[in-house]
């Protein structure tokens, strides 16, 4: 597997909805492996194919190294709880920046495995946060768009200063 370059905010691909996966083949397996390696190197808890410029509906989430990484192909949220929770979020495409985001505390997600098997499951806690965050990304909704306009503008300016300081 390989570590791929991560596209950075404000790249237009980060605001572009992805296309469903239709081929469950070796290419998809390789892409999933590359995403896992790229996410671990970043480091991050989740990553989508869109983060490396491939507009296909695939995400990998690994909450910790003791638990096997999870691959979600063509994920969609089919239910959200009325109860909400706040959690600090960031992105591998905007390293060094995080803000609290309020989201439903529990969700039910329908998705496919890397072999194409259809599944549905409920998630809460950090997994619910990560799934919603990554599915937003697959839908072309970069995480800072969940912030107020003022917080979004401040986050973008802070990231710009970090990039400038790093010489990018």
Q: Give residue-wise pLDDT tens across range 64-99.
A: 988 899 999 999 999 999 999 999 999 999 999 999
In angstroms, the CA 42 to CA 30 distance is 18
Confidence band of 103 (pLDDT split at 50, 70, 90): very high
Is 58 within the bounds of a domain? Answer: yes
CATH number at residue 131: 3.90.45.10
Q: How confident is the model at residue 1 (pLDDT cuts 50, 70, 90)?
A: confident
Per the domain annotation, does 6 fall within a domain? Answer: no
Q: Which of 83, 134, 153, 160 is catalytic?
A: 134
Alpha-carbon distance 119 to 111, whole Å?
Answer: 5
Domain that holds residue 53: 12-165
Residue 168 has pLDDT above 80, yes or no: no
Write out the two tokens for 27. Answer: 């290419």
- Report if residue 122 sits inside a domain: yes
* Cα separation values, 19 from 84, 119, 134, Å: 29, 19, 14
For residue 28, give the 3-state DSSP assignment.
helix
* Total structural domains within the chain: 1
| 148 domain residue, yes or no | yes
The pLDDT assigned to 134 comes to 98
Answer yes or no: are the C-beta atoms of 4 and 38 closer than 8 Å: yes
Taking residues 103-115, what's their average pLDDT?
Answer: 98
User: Does the residue 1 lie in any domain?
Assistant: no
Q: Is residue 119, in this structure, part of any structural domain at all?
A: yes
Residue 2 lies in a domain: no
Q: Residue 49 to residues 35, 63, 77, 156: CA-CA distances in angstroms?
A: 7, 18, 18, 22
Distance of alpha carbon 11 from alpha carbon 129, whole angstroms: 23
Alpha helices in 49-148 (DSSP H): 125-138
Say whether 76 is catalytic. Answer: no
Kindly state whether residue 129 falls inside one of the protein's structural domains: yes
């Amino acid at each position: 597997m390989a570590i791929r370059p991560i596209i950075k905010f404000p790249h237009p691909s980060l605001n572009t909805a992805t296309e469903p996966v239709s081929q469950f083949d070796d290419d998809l397996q390789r892409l999933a492996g590359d995403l896992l390696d790229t996410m671990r190197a970043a480091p991050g808890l989740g990553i989508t194919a869109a983060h490396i410029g491939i507009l296909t509906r695939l995400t990998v989430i690994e909450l910790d190294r003791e638990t096997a990484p999870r691959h979600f192909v063509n994920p969609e949220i089919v239910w959200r709880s009325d109860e909400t929770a706040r959690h600090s979020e960031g992105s591998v495409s905007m390293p060094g920046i995080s803000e609290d985001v309020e989201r439903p505390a529990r969700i039910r997600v329908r998705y496919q495995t890397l072999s194409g098997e259809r599944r549905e499951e409920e998630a809460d806690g950090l997994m619910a946060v990560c799934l919603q965050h990554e599915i937003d990304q697959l839908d072309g909704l970069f995480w800072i768009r969940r912030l107020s306009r003022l917080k979004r503008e401040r986050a973008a300016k802070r990231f710009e200063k970090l990039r400038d300081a790093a010489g990018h």
